[in-house]
Structure 1
Amino acid sequence: MIYIIFIIGLIGTKIIIPYFKSLLIESNITKKNYLGKEIPVSMGIVFLPFLVINSIILRYYIENNIIYSYLFGAIAMGFVGIIDDLIGTRDVTGLKGHIKSLIKGKLTTGGFKALFGGFVALCISVGISKNIQDIIINTMMIALFTNLLNLLDLRPGRSIKGYLFISVLFFLSVNSYEKILIALLTANVIAYFKEDIKALSMMGDAGSNILGVWLGIISANSFNIYTRIAILIGLILIHIITEKYSLTKIIENNKFLNYIDKLGR
């Protein structure tokens, strides 16, 4: 099943990429990247068609309704990501900045994304958790994983490299069904990877949100309480650091991380 799902997702997504790219260019859905080059944005929507198609195949052969939680999270966060890609500004940055704006009565796209994403995470957590403690931990993990992949998406290929690294670690640690779910999204991501790392298009928040929420649900649904607490502490520490220091500067100042970051560009 893993091989079938992976091949369908890889080939299918590869085929539809040019169609979605043309659609975005013709609709003038473009933005300047960090080098000032105008390229299509929100290309992360190419992950969704074969997420849905492969989910249908998976649910038909394996009777496990948890797949609907993953689909709900991916579609919901993809939706809010598109909104941020299309009308978002960079006047306010950081999770703390968006929350402060919200408290002052000003809604930013980042604030809406944080608020909406929090409720999406809560909705999913209620469905997969056993008690209140689980709901709190899982909600925070899903929300912070979503934001983490978004934080990484400031240079070509960076967010996808982060996703692939974490997904490999998860793949080695989860059961066979969760392995299929990781393969389900990873096939689409690999098919798109060249577009992103060569700066031919930006997956945008539409893509990074999908990657993050998927990892968040995998971690919330697969690991015991102690592992989840450890992951949550790690996510909180990363977010505290990135509120104070530029993640890009941290990466650039570390030879190993900088090498990995630039690899393939």
Structure 2
Amino acid sequence: MIRTIVLTAVAAAGGWGVTRAVLAGRGVIDRRGRLDRTNHAGSTVSLIEGPAVAAGLTTAAVLVAAPSHRTAAVTATAVSGILGFVDDVAESGSAKGLRGHLGALARGEITTGALKVIGIPAAALLAAGVGRRPEPLGGSAALGALTDTVLAAGVIAGTANLLNLLDLRPGRALKAGLLALAIGESSPRTGTVLTGGALGVIAAAWPDDLAGSSMLGDTGANALGAYLGTRYALSASRPRLALELTLLGALTLASEKVSFTAVIARTPVLRELDAWGRPAALVSP
């Protein structure tokens, strides 16, 4: 117990420190402004937050005590962040959304988005295969392992995608991350350390993100989503995994037809929560 408490505190401090260090080094790391983008309000925003968050989360994941869980968390987080960074800085093709990227793949077009569609689930499968302790299904250990791995990988990859879909307004994805920490079950030891790391990283990124001076981008959103998905998927029961994957799948399909931003703008409670902490100039939908 004491070791877990110490590791959790170190993960929180380490995640916060690394994230803040990268953010503070923006002028050196991105002196030419290659990570600058224009946000929904027409202001310049930096994608430096993405690498900062991915680095902070990976640092926290390294501190997980159980080797298999550590490998799973580091793999899912780091690979998702790296593939997100490739998409952020070298985006190719005009395809958007899951349907668009799958369509591009069907035409033999390999875009940076398509690389994520392939690479993040692959990393999630590896993380799930390494990190979960499967239960037999129908008397078959192999079938149980296969089922658990596929379900857990789907949750990891699906959460990475969902956080990316939400990163359209300042603070929105970070708030979703906090909600996921509050409602998602996790293993007592690994989950506690990963929770500490996530809280430290979110706290470090919060001021700049809410102020609209930086954003997660694909790098940070994918990394945070994969990290949170791994935290949940390593220990959730099979029925919970199936339910979670169904919900993530439904939200992903809905995003192809409906604008989450429009839904939030029409729903008073969601609108107020979404705007909370954001400067007035950035509150408009």
**TM value normalised by structure 2:** 0.84
Q: 1:257 to 1:52 in 2, by over 3 A?
A: closer
Asked if 2 retains the 8 angstrom alpha-carbon contact of 1:5 and 1:54, the reply is yes
How far apart are 1:122 and its partner, in Å? Answer: 1.4
- Name the SS for the 2:256 alignment partner: helix
Say whether residues 1:205 and 2:199 are aligned partners: no
Stretch deviating more after TM superposition (174-183 or 93-102): 174-183
**Inter-partner Cα distance in structure 1 for 2:266 and 2:43:** 25
Correspondences of 1:46-61 after superposition (within 5 Å)? 46-56=52-62, 58=63
Stretch deviating more after TM superposition (42-51 or 133-142): 42-51
Stretch deviating more after TM superposition (139-148 or 9-18): 9-18
Name 2:146's counterpart in structure 1.
132
Asked if 2 retains the 8 angstrom alpha-carbon contact of 1:20 and 1:43, the reply is no
**Inter-partner Cα distance in structure 2 for 1:110 and 1:16:** 25
| 5+ residue gaps, structure 1 | none
Name 1:147's counterpart in structure 2.
161
Q: What is the percent sequence identity of the aligned residues?
A: 26
| 5+ residue gaps, structure 2 | 1-5, 135-144, 279-285
**Inter-partner Cα distance in structure 2 for 1:136 and 1:48:** 24
Task: Give the RMSD, CA atoms, in angstroms.
Answer: 2.0
**Inter-partner Cα distance in structure 1 for 2:93 and 2:232:** 30
Name 2:29's counterpart in structure 1.
23
Asked if 2 retains the 8 angstrom alpha-carbon contact of 1:96 and 1:243, the reply is yes
**Inter-partner Cα distance in structure 2 for 1:22 and 1:165:** 34
**Inter-partner Cα distance in structure 2 for 1:104 and 1:9:** 41
**Inter-partner Cα distance in structure 2 for 1:53 and 1:236:** 29
Corresponding residue to 1:14 among 20, 26, 47:
20
The AA in structure 1 aligned to 2:227 is: W
Stretch deviating more after TM superposition (220-229 or 44-53): 44-53
The AA in structure 2 aligned to 1:214 is: Y
- Name the SS for the 2:103 alignment partner: helix
**TM value normalised by structure 1:** 0.90
Q: 1:42 to 1:4 in 2, by over 3 A?
A: closer
Asked if 1 retains the 8 angstrom alpha-carbon contact of 2:19 and 2:201, the reply is yes
Correspondences of 1:1-265 after superposition (within 5 Å)? 1=6, 2-20=8-26, 22-56=28-62, 58=63, 62-88=65-91, 91-129=94-132, 130=134, 131-170=145-184, 174-265=187-278
**Inter-partner Cα distance in structure 1 for 2:224 and 2:39:** 20
- Name the SS for the 1:66 alignment partner: helix
Stretch deviating more after TM superposition (74-83 or 124-133): 124-133
- Name the SS for the 2:113 alignment partner: helix
**Inter-partner Cα distance in structure 2 for 1:32 and 1:25:** 17
The AA in structure 1 aligned to 2:264 is: I
